[in-house]
Amino acid sequence: MQLRVGMVGYAFMGAAHSQAWRTVNRVFDLPARARMALICGRDAGKVSEAADRLGWDASTTDWRDLVTRDDIDVVDVCTPGDSHAEIALAALAAGKHVLCEKPLANTVSEARAMAAAAAAAQAVGVRSMCGFNYRRVPAVAMMRQLIADGRLGVVRHVRATYLQDWIVDPQFPLVWRLQKDRAGSGALGDIGAHIIDLTQFVTGQLISGVSAVTETFVRERPLPAGSSGLAASVDGDGHHPSVGPVTVDDAAVFVARLDGGALATYEASRFATGRKNALRVEINGSLGSVVFDLERLNELEFYDATRPTAEQGFSRILVTEGEHPYMSAWWPPGHIIGYEHSFTHQMRDFIEAVATGVDPTPSFSDALQVQLVLDAVTRSAELGSSWADVEPALVTATA
Amino acid sequence: MQLRVGMVGYAFMGAAHSQAWRTVNRVFDLPARARMALICGRDAGKVSEAADRLGWDASTTDWRDLVTRDDIDVVDVCTPGDSHAEIALAALAAGKHVLCEKPLANTVSEARAMAAAAAAAQAVGVRSMCGFNYRRVPAVAMMRQLIADGRLGVVRHVRATYLQDWIVDPQFPLVWRLQKDRAGSGALGDIGAHIIDLTQFVTGQLISGVSAVTETFVRERPLPAGSSGLAASVDGDGHHPSVGPVTVDDAAVFVARLDGGALATYEASRFATGRKNALRVEINGSLGSVVFDLERLNELEFYDATRPTAEQGFSRILVTEGEHPYMSAWWPPGHIIGYEHSFTHQMRDFIEAVATGVDPTPSFSDALQVQLVLDAVTRSAELGSSWADVEPALVTATA
Amino acid sequence: MQLRVGMVGYAFMGAAHSQAWRTVNRVFDLPARARMALICGRDAGKVSEAADRLGWDASTTDWRDLVTRDDIDVVDVCTPGDSHAEIALAALAAGKHVLCEKPLANTVSEARAMAAAAAAAQAVGVRSMCGFNYRRVPAVAMMRQLIADGRLGVVRHVRATYLQDWIVDPQFPLVWRLQKDRAGSGALGDIGAHIIDLTQFVTGQLISGVSAVTETFVRERPLPAGSSGLAASVDGDGHHPSVGPVTVDDAAVFVARLDGGALATYEASRFATGRKNALRVEINGSLGSVVFDLERLNELEFYDATRPTAEQGFSRILVTEGEHPYMSAWWPPGHIIGYEHSFTHQMRDFIEAVATGVDPTPSFSDALQVQLVLDAVTRSAELGSSWADVEPALVTATA
Amino acid sequence: MQLRVGMVGYAFMGAAHSQAWRTVNRVFDLPARARMALICGRDAGKVSEAADRLGWDASTTDWRDLVTRDDIDVVDVCTPGDSHAEIALAALAAGKHVLCEKPLANTVSEARAMAAAAAAAQAVGVRSMCGFNYRRVPAVAMMRQLIADGRLGVVRHVRATYLQDWIVDPQFPLVWRLQKDRAGSGALGDIGAHIIDLTQFVTGQLISGVSAVTETFVRERPLPAGSSGLAASVDGDGHHPSVGPVTVDDAAVFVARLDGGALATYEASRFATGRKNALRVEINGSLGSVVFDLERLNELEFYDATRPTAEQGFSRILVTEGEHPYMSAWWPPGHIIGYEHSFTHQMRDFIEAVATGVDPTPSFSDALQVQLVLDAVTRSAELGSSWADVEPALVTATA
């Protein structure tokens, strides 16, 4: 069985997804094979070049054609958040399985519409998934399993940060990720969304309310000479015609309650000097604790309080054994994997779900739940940190 | 010159202070020598035994006598928080220099009265200090110096946790630290106070407002057979006549703004399984970052973003060189010090200040500022995490 | 320009090389493209299946045909060490560029013949390289650059270990890696060779003599039901017809002198319980030190003793910046790479060298130098740890 | 019961011992109390000042008087190694209990005489002990216990380094520790002795033979203006009348076999830039491994290979629980201790042994065994790294 993939977007996420589509069937034994059929971008020359470099059979500039073509089975949405809803809805309407990058959308209403459409499509065997790829890091999957198995007892504390520092320099230009109309929000939606999803995933609990503070430390930045995500840079002669306003948050911090009774703190920032991709999560339960750090993603620290007191300690588990999630397909123990492997694992699970006719997770509904938390954070911050409840995402399939 | 010390209390803090008074003049060359003159406790037999064991010249059960005797120069208050105000005010009134354990008091009004009395006493050469001993950990002092020297640039983020786990077991008894009338608050005042003071100290900024959540996970506990701080335990036959209500917080989390523009997160908990004494502080500035962990108190991590990009990294500085604060008095580089040394350094600074006629820090006014933050956290938590401003401690000397 | 690759062997190294050949041109912009043309193995069915799974155009069981075919430009030798010499010599004789896995051969005489042949081939534009892939880990390349730039001053100490634990269990079967006739030696040649090459590479110095001890802790093991490298396992019913002798070392330790004046210790073991792939190297110089750990291969610790004393410390550099070797082709800072990327980088350098007509490193002569050290270690161990000089590899091109 | 201590020497070790004698009875409940009765040094003024500062009742310049006085029960020898034998032998002859700093002596013959005298004295109830204080670090004691309990199974590997960097600068002066007639040897006897003793202690095995290389990197150094151990420094105007030869090793590396079948590597160096007091030991057994680092002496890493594969990892045990050796006397869990506490624990065990009439360890005979290893290392290094057997220390009590 072959799944012909059409991907929209070819920047950072597009490259990461390409590497994963290219690799997944070489490493995992799966009931279907992905074919990198078609890639779509706005600039014909650049997307053609990308197709050649990344290994896609063909390229196009017309995403509406891509999502409706008969020779495409899967649509992979890797564009900025402002176009997710339109593309994904069209693809679902055309009966394509959809993998959509996170955050699902830039607004709750868009996300709600997408979740409803996905629920409707599901009824006719069309699958959809949101790309919270970190769920597929083996150590994260293991963390979830330990908690599900009761190894942590009652979860008391969640402590989650996602820290980066790529815009500390006030001269870093005003790329699309700093513009609300394109990105929806700043650190909050870009990286905060990851720790919201990840902590809900591993604990099996939902955030029920938040109190938040957000900040934009640098409110005006040089306009980019030509921006393409993180790679944007000052033009050759250092001259910028003008500056523009930063319309998203640089950082967001919030306290939260989870519906299972835990207290939580969250922080997402692009101003944490020295922290490059520091997604760190610690969870304390009545019987144990776990700690994860994305910059050392092959490791999981596990504290088992049921062991004899004198021997208790945080164990640094190298999550590279055949017994660990996803790892039997890779190298011998101790031979580490990298960031990109989380995407390969995501594609593995997506392909398997589609080929075997089950719904992959996280669903669009799961992703809507994240969107509702993002929305609560924004509301709380706007209302002077007052408590904002998070409503549960009750999704009804679109008629 | 000799300073005759009278200490009230002889449990955990009393033992730690005794070790420090005993050691300080053996290690540091100071203008005055402390004499461990008198120790006070409620039980005559036990305090006499403590005097003998800890090395005090004499013991008494009458703190009112202790604070007024002519042969006492310094009163060291090591009792639970509910008696700090009464003892310290009496000592100041009697013209004694006072070192008072933290938190300064159990309420803002008490703390305010103490700060006012201290300010008045200061005018006649009587010195006072609050025992936030972690300011004297060499790595903490170095952290403050780096920030004061501008090495971090503009401080953007403060991330502070103080995590312990000694009451995770619901059968751990209801010791005085879990009773509001004795301890004032729970994790918040006991360990949260430390990170509030420490972060204000090292950044040179004050917390201007907070939004908080607190929780008591275990609301009822066995009554202790006989409690003495952290050492309380179940009685021999495992039998307890009854249980009692826990009247303080088990954990407190809050977001905050500092008056210099930084965002901050704080967490104090006694339910963080596996974390024994995990006071951890990270501060990110526009030019660099620092990280401190009390369980590895001889180390400071420093990230200097002014170095060449390819060489930037968190440097693990072993703060054991003669060039580091306090360390020239101790052992060769790499020969680490422990928790108790922070008290020895505190006594060093206190003795030097008293002997040379200057005011030691943190003053009672500084400690009142911490109390005001604790109060704001409590108010915010009680009002559903609504934002609570922290007023500045404007202290007027008591007439 | 296209380079048509023929690979011999498809087990662990074959899979790793395949992933690298498949990826290299998708990530790096190079003057030639590798085509995965032909893969060779002894079992027609299995190699055909491997070709399909790993993505090779075709398969064969005849390596002699592979190395002489007109439609093959590059021969990649991934077999056990006992066949390296025969295959590589034939390939060079046929005018093929050769990439040969390490160790270059099982004996010095074979390695010498190969180095001579490579030198002769080089004169007519045929390139050869030995697969010491860890040279291409970005942190290792950075380590070399720091030392070459004089940042460590005079190198005083080299401390190198490569520790694994996959045969601690005495019931682990007698796979080919434990048989001298196939593998040449045990831990010494398999993993010891890596640290010998790596330390000579980064210091720019050669080992001039050694004193060694080797040991085989478990001298007899069950015969495997069917062995294929590390993946060998006990057969289904736990029954083995018989046992056989382990004819290689389980561990090798040696002290050494380098020709630049440094003292060194080396240890290679498959019996270091808990160490999975722990290649660790520390180098101390008069001006600084570096530390590398393959299990955290995205990090390099660098101590710069020219900094102010109070700020000196081992800096944990996350070697993921665009400024770091090879990394501009990959993901944003902090998004880590894995073990397999060292092979991708190796293929990158190999392709570039071949396409631009320069000799890649490490050459067969460099690999012969490693072989001479392995030989000295073996001689010293056999002669009761007496000192064994390492002769320099003076290679003359075969007539 | 009171033990009146007379201490000879008051430099680095004298200060460390003083802190321990002063503290031990304040913290531990013991059957005897140490009295700091008399301190001895060569300069009357300086030793008197030291007595006052360190808290000794009296001082003297006549060690022969000290060791024979009726009012002294214990002689504590803290001088450089060249005077250990003379002082300790005289003290034993006078019936005093003796605590002698390590290494026991500068030569095997001296050490043998001391061990014989100690054995004879033991017969009449006189106790002796050598000051390998690191045995009393709680994590080290725990390491020994784990191995003794069989938790590591058969010990396969010992990996021990003791690295410092205080003489990397060639202008560091020629202090007594760099002179063979005073110190016996350099890094080898000073710090190498510690790792020899420690690894023999924790494994319960003896080193049976070694192959060694030693080196003196800087062979000539400025004469000190006036040397006192590690504190020596260049005189005020930076002028030195002359230079002198360094007559000891700067570094020593050796491989070894232990009599239980383990392979071992040892390294002692004063030229490991960035390593301040880096005594690190790793031991791998068939069932588990342990790792210790003196710069983080409150921690022990323990790998238990009997746990489920997926949960195996090195556990960072914070050795600060009441269940851990020595720790119930100190602070609550997580409140760390320092370097000096190893001496306090040593005095605790010494006092208890003397008071209860048992022989403390390490005995002079144990220390002689270390001396025999040092001697074998020196011999091997002098004979071009040829293997040197270590004879067992068969001690006969002096008639």
Of A22, A297, A338, nearest to C341 by CB-CB distance is A338
Q: How many CB atoms lie within 10 A of CB A29?
A: 8
CB atoms within 10 A of CB A200: 21
Helix (H, G, I), strand (E, B) or coil at C124: coil
**C114 φ/ψ angles, rounded to the nearest 5 degrees:** -65, -40
d(CA B224, CA A300): 38
Residue A343: enclosing H or E segment and its boundaries?
helix A341-356
Instruction: List subunits contacting chain C, requiring 3 or more Cβ pairs under 8 Å.
Output: A, B, D
Q: Give strand ranges (E) for A173-259.
A: 207-215, 220-222, 243-245, 251-258
The whole-number average pLDDT for the span A218-246 is: 69
Which residue reads 């590597």 in tokens? D265
pLDDT band at C164 (very low <50, low <70, confident <90, very high): very high
Host H or E run for residue D335: none
CATH number assigned to the domain with residue range B138-296+298-337, chosen from the 4 options 3.30.360.10, 3.40.50.10540, 3.40.50.720, 3.20.20.70: 3.30.360.10
DSSP annotation of A340: T
- CA dist., res. B188 & res. B202, Å (int): 20
Q: Is B152 on the interface with C (CB under 8 A)?
A: no
- Selecting from D142, D313, D321 the residue whose C-beta is nearest the C-beta of A317 gives D313
**What gap in Å lies between CA D310 and CA A319, rounded to an integer?**
8
Of A124-128, A232-236, C394-398, minimum mean pLDDT range? A232-236
Q: Are B231 and B290 contacting, i.e. CB atoms less than 8 angstroms apart? A: no
The tokens for A247 are: 């319309």
Does D275 contact C at CB distance below 8 Å?
A: yes
What's the rounded Cα separation, in Å, for the pair D256 and C212? 9
* Tokens linked to A31: 């009931």
Number of other CB atoms surrounding residue B153 within 10 Å = 16
pLDDT (mean) for C369-398: 93
Are residues D313 and A313, on separate chains, in Cβ contact within 8 Å? no
pLDDT tens digits for range A62-104: 999 999 999 999 999 999 999 999 999 999 999 999 999 999 9
- At residue B304, the pLDDT reads 98
Note whether C326 contacts B: Cβ–Cβ < 8 A.
Answer: no
Pairwise CA distance, residues A163 & A160, whole Å: 10
Q: Strands, DSSP E only, in B9-68?
A: 33-40, 58-60
Within 8 A by CB and 6+ apart from B169, the residues are: none
Residues for chain D: how many in total?
399
Q: What's the rounded Cα separation, in Å, for the pair C247 and C214?
A: 12
Nearest to C324 by CA among C185, C179, C136: C136
User: Is the torsion defined by CA of B116, B119, B124, B125 positive or negative?
Assistant: positive
Contacts of C315 in chain B (CB under 8 A): 311-316
| Contact between residue C273 and residue D159 where contact means Cβ atoms under 8 Å apart | no
Which contiguous run of DSSP H or E holds residue D88?
helix D84-93
Q: Is the pLDDT of residue B185 over 60?
A: yes
What is the nearest CA distance from A97 to chain B, expressed in angstroms? 41
Q: Is C387 on the interface with D (CB under 8 A)?
A: yes
Whether residue B153 is predicted with pLDDT greater than 60 in this model: the reply is: yes
Q: Whole-number mean pLDDT of chain A?
A: 95
Could you give the strand order of the β-sheet that contains D97-101, starting from the edge strand earlier in sequence?
D58-60, D33-40, D2-8, D74-77, D97-101, D128-131
Helix residue spans in C149-292 (DSSP H): 180-183, 187, 193-203
Q: Where are the domains of chain A?
A: 2-134, 137-356
Instruction: Give the other-Cβ count within 10 Å of B78's Cβ.
Output: 25
> For residue C308, which residues of chain B lie inside 8 Å, CB to CB?
323
- Nearest residue of D to residue A312, measured between CA atoms: D317
ipTM: 0.94
Name subunits touching D (3+ CB pairs < 8 A): A, B, C
Give the 3-state secondary structure of C333-394.
Answer: CCCCCCCCHHHHHHHHHHHHHHHHCCCCCCCHHHHHHHHHHHHHHHHHHHCCCCCEECCCCC
Kindly state which CATH superfamily the domain A137-356 is placed in: Dihydrodipicolinate Reductase; domain 2 (3.30.360.10)
Beta strand C128-131 with C97-101: parallel, antiparallel or unpaired? parallel
Residues β-bridged to residue B98: B75, B128
Question: Amino acid identity of D83?
Answer: S
Pairing of strands A288-293, A299-304: antiparallel
Q: In chain B, what percentage of residues exceed pLDDT 90?
A: 93
Cα–Cα dist B250/B272, whole Å:
10
Nearest to B285 by CA among B149, B160, B151: B151
In single-letter form, the type of residue at position A16 comes to A
What's the topology of domain D2-134?
A: Rossmann fold (3.40.50)
Within 8 A of D164 by CB-CB distance, chain B residues are 334
Contact present, D210 and D376 (Cβ < 8 Å): yes
What is the C-alpha separation between B342 and B82, in angstroms, rounded? 24
Written out in words, the top-level CATH class of the domain with range B2-134+361-365 is: alpha beta
Q: How far is CA B22 from CA A391, B16, D31, in A?
A: 59, 10, 22
Burial profile B49-59: b = 16 or more Cβ within 10 angstroms, e = fewer: ebbebbbbeeb
CB within 8 Å: B310 and C321: yes
Residues of chain D positioned with their CB less than 8 A from the CB of C288: 273-274
Query: Is residue C195 helix, strand or coil?
Result: helix
Kindly give the confidence (pLDDT) of every residue in chain D, 399 residues in length, as a single tens digit, with 9 standing for 90 and above.
899 999 999 999 999 999 999 999 999 999 999 999 999 999 999 999 999 999 999 999 999 999 999 999 999 999 999 999 999 999 999 999 999 999 999 999 999 999 999 999 999 999 999 999 999 999 999 999 999 999 999 999 999 999 999 999 999 999 999 999 999 999 999 999 999 999 999 999 999 999 999 999 999 999 987 544 444 444 455 554 599 999 999 999 999 999 999 999 999 999 999 999 999 999 999 999 999 999 999 999 999 999 999 999 999 999 999 999 999 999 999 999 999 999 999 999 999 999 999 999 999 999 999 999 999 999 999 999 999 999 888 777 775
Euclidean distance between CA atoms D267 and C311, whole angstroms? 27
Secondary structure (DSSP) of A96-139: -EEEEESSS-SSHHHHHHHHHHHHHHHTTT--EEEE-GGGGSHH
Residue with tokens 């990720």: A177
3-state secondary structure of A150: coil
Which residues of chain D neighbour C217 with C-beta distances below 8 Å? Answer: 156, 261
- The pLDDT score that the predictor gives to residue C228 is 45
Q: For residue A32, how many other CB atoms are within 10 A of its CB?
A: 17
Q: Is A395 a residue whose pLDDT tops 90?
A: no
Per the DSSP assignment, residues forming a β-bridge with D100 are D77, D130
DSSP, collapsed to helix, strand or coil, labels residue A81 as: helix
Output helix, strand, coil percentages for chain B, rounded to the nearest 5. 35, 25, 40
Rounded Cα–Cα distance for residues A200 and A197 (Å)? 5
Q: What is the DSSP string of C131-170?
A: E-GGGGSHHHHHHHHHHHTTTT-SEEEEEEEEE--TT-ST
Predicted confidence (pLDDT) per residue in B237-266, tens digit: 555 459 999 999 999 999 999 999 999 999
Q: Round to whole Å and give the CA distance between D362 and D371.
A: 13
CA dist A338 and C340 (Å) reads: 9
DSSP string covering B132-167, please?
Answer: -GGGGSHHHHHHHHHHHTTTT-SEEEEEEEEE--TT
Q: What angle do CA A289, A291, A294 make, to 5 degrees?
A: 160
For residue A356, CA distances in Å to A127, A328, A359, A360 come to 11, 21, 9, 10
Burial D142-178, CB ≥16 within 10 A → b, else e: bbbebbeeebbbebbbbbbbbbbbbbbeeebbbbbbb
Q: 């993505």: which residue's tokens? A: C55
Task: Please report, rounded to a whole number, the percentage of residues in chain D having pLDDT higher than 90.
Answer: 93
Task: For residue B311, list chain C residues with Cβ-Cβ distance below 8 A.
Answer: 302, 304, 315, 317
Asked if D287 has any chain A CB less than 8 Å from its own CB, the reply is no
CB-based contact (8 Å) between A314 and chain B?
yes
For residue B391, pLDDT over 50 is answered with: yes
Predicted confidence at residue C225, as pLDDT, reads: 75
Q: Give pLDDT tens digits for B23-54.
A: 999 999 999 999 999 999 999 999 999 999 99
Q: What is the pLDDT of residue C234?
A: 45
Taking alpha carbons only, the member of C299, A253, C125 closest to residue B156 is A253
**Amino acid letter at D372?**
L
Both tokens of B386, joined, read: 């609504």
Long-range contacts from C200-203, C-beta under 8 angstroms, 24+ separation = C200/C258, C200/C366, C200/C369, C200/C370, C201/C132, C201/C135, C201/C140, C201/C144, C201/C362, C202/C140, C202/C143, C202/C144, C202/C147, C202/C281, C202/C283, C202/C290, C203/C147, C203/C155, C203/C158, C203/C258, C203/C260, C203/C262, C203/C283
Distance CA B71, CA B37 (A): 8
Q: D166 to chain C: nearest residue by CA? A: C286
pLDDT, tens only, D235-285? 455 554 599 999 999 999 999 999 999 999 999 999 999 999 999 999 999
